[in-house]
Structure 1
Amino acid sequence: MTFSIVARCAQTGQFGMAISSSSPAVAARCAFARAGVGAASSQNITNPALGPMMLDAIATGATAPEAVARARDADGYADFRQLIAIDGAGRTAIHSGARALGIWTSAEGTDCASGGNLLANDQIPATMVKAFETATGSLGDRLIAAMQAGMAAGGEAGPVHSAGLLVVDKQAWPYAELRIDWLDDACPIEALARAWEVYRPQADDYVTRALNPGDAPSYGVPGDE
């Protein structure tokens, strides 16, 4: 009931992921990224503990394949899980358990990996990887492009209702963390794209406000001088 992509920007060192599902608030349970370490998704029949477990393993020297294997083996319910990770070298790994839901598949590319379950067809992850690899712009731009391509190729077997974008840069907190937790009759991926369009020009300013408020630009709100 989910399709997602994890990725790295080789130029900036940012990591991120984007995800969508028919379930509510999918990014709250499935999206994980850590500055200087990597990004990971724990999806299908979700165990949110596995995302931090994979990132902890990478942070202590494991490769993405090793991190995914450790989380898979530690969980005890590997047949139900779909795990995806990318590390600082751009290595990727995916585990899809035999009891993943519906049509499930995955694809790996340069600095990215995608996976999904309960899909409309088995080409969705490959389409998303290709879209990411050919898109231009920032990491967030390319992740959004991948999600839009996945949706255009069929997306989930039924309607999707939530989506999320998570990008980390150099700080311990997210560079961008945008979520559409539930929409009844509109596409959450397009709503997420619009949220990113609004947030993107201000993202660096929010970092400046945290690190050096004296250099922060105007807040652009009534009463701000």
Structure 2
Amino acid sequence: MTFSIVGRCEETGQLGIAISSSSIAVGARCPWVRAGVGVVATQNVTLPALGPQILDHMEGAKLNPVEALDRALSVNQWSEYRQVTVVDAQGRTAFFSGKEALGTYHAVAGKQCVAAGNMLAGVHVIEAMIPAFENASGQLADRLLAAMHAAVAAGGEAGPVHSAALKIAGEQSWPLVDLRVDWADDHPIGKLDGLWQAYKPQMQDYVTRALNPTAAPSYGVPGDE
């Protein structure tokens, strides 16, 4: 039903996730990112609460990703149905796939990234994502999307994909990027990439607007918010 990649940019410290699913609105339930703390994907019969719990453990209790993931899963009686991946602000990684994960499932950690999925066309889908992320150039979002395109090229999910999301945290407390395709009959990852290409040249302007409205450009649209 889902494949995703969580990762950190060594140059900027940004943390982010790209994810897709055969289900509607994957971005509403599965991606979790917190500036200066980490990024989590909760998928496969997802329990959304795991995302904030793991981030809280890393931020408040100063646990590393493995410890934070173990603590969150240990208090949930249905953990064997979950698939979870984590990268923290230092680039350390953790992942878990329960034995009740759906279909063919797999997870692989790379350099400051983790890719995982379930109901896959094959485990090679996830294995294709890590080198795609590590070898891609550009911003973190570009590298995450490169990994998603590599997964699609390798066969993707066993069935059709209908939703996709991209979420990235920078220096501020709010997401730097939060883009979603909640439902598409075909090519939601391509549509998500199109949204990113449209948003990328304006991204920093919206940060400027938030921090210093007098310095921000206007785009001349009604309301201009």
TM-score norm. by structure 2 comes to 0.97
Letter in 2 for 1:129: I
Match of 2:89 in 1: 88
Deviation at 1:67, TM superposition (A): 1.2
- 8 Å CA contact 1:135–1:142 kept in 2: the answer is yes
Give me the whole-angstrom Cα distance separating, in 1, the residues matched to 2:223 and 2:193: 29
Identify the range of structure 1 (193-202 vs 66-75) with the bigger mean alpha-carbon deviation: 66-75
Stretches of structure 1 that go unaligned for 5 or more consecutive residues are none
Give me the whole-angstrom Cα distance separating, in 2, the residues matched to 1:124 and 1:158: 13
The count of residues paired between Structure 1 and Structure 2 equals 223
- 8 Å CA contact 1:33–1:168 kept in 2: the answer is yes
Letter in 2 for 1:195: L
1:170 and 2:155 are equivalent in the alignment = no
Match of 2:216 in 1: 216
Q: Structure 1 pair 215/19, CA: closer, same or farther in 2 (3 Å)? A: same
Query: What is the CA RMSD across the aligned residues, in angstroms?
Result: 1.2
Match of 1:149 in 2: 150
Letter in 2 for 1:221: V
1:120 and 2:152 are equivalent in the alignment = no
Give me the whole-angstrom Cα distance separating, in 2, the residues matched to 1:223 and 1:120: 45
- 8 Å CA contact 1:72–1:95 kept in 2: the answer is no
Question: Which digits, 9 at most, give the CA deviation of each residue in 1:157-208, with x for residues without a partner?
Answer: 0000000000000111110100000012x21000000000000110000000
Letter in 1 for 2:188: P
Match of 1:195 in 2: 195
Deviation at 1:223, TM superposition (A): 9.4
Give me the whole-angstrom Cα distance separating, in 1, the residues matched to 2:188 and 2:174: 24
Deviation at 1:58, TM superposition (A): 1.1
Sequence identity of aligned pairs in percent?
54
Question: Post-superposition, which runs of at least 4 consecutive aligned residues in structure 1 deviate over 6 A?
Answer: none
Match of 2:49 in 1: 49
Match of 2:204 in 1: 204
1:24 and 2:46 are equivalent in the alignment = no
Match of 1:98 in 2: 99
